[in-house]
Amino acid sequence: MKILRSLVGDALSIAKTYGGGAVTPQSLGQAIFYDGYAVLAMNRVREAARRWHVPGVNRILRLTQIALYGIEIGKGVELGEGVVFVHTLGIVIGGDARVGDRVRILGNITIGTAKENGYPRIGNDVTIGAGARILGPVTVGDGATIGANAVVLSDVPPGAIAVGVPATIRVLPPNARSGP
């Protein structure tokens, strides 16, 4: 079953995060009893309920996510494997946003749109700082870091660090060229 594979994959990926790259019984226990894993598991069940056309389940679980964890994830959102919600409170991911594998999301962030002109695409292994806003049809490259309270309105290259309001690239990846 796809949902069971997803749940196990998510647990193992999150356990690697807590185990310093290795899955240990302790890190697996931390992952499974972690609030962020509960949110991710509920989202996987929501996806399956929509796929199987089970009425009411998506709505009930969405409201449960909001009430218990303070997180709202739209029904068109795609979450990659092992997304880590470090703090769930105040997180909104809307529309048809795509969030890659092993993305670390701190609290009070928004991934959405300001002008109904499209939704972000977040690469793999990205860290999104507390209070950040990623708005519009932007792409955040693999391994990038979005600083706390940054407002991202344009693309962020892979491996870069974006900070400020509006966000600017402050640190380019080591292999980036400077100049023409």
At CB < 8 A and 24+ separation, what contacts does 151-154 make? 152/120
- What are the residue numbers of the active site? 87
Backbone phi and psi for residue 108, each to the nearest 5 degrees, phi listed first: 60, 45
Residue 125: alpha-carbon gap to chain centroid: 10
Instruction: Give the pairing type, strands 121-122 and 98-99.
Output: parallel
Q: Closest Cα partner for 110 from 82, 144, 74?
A: 74
Token digits for 167? 């966000």
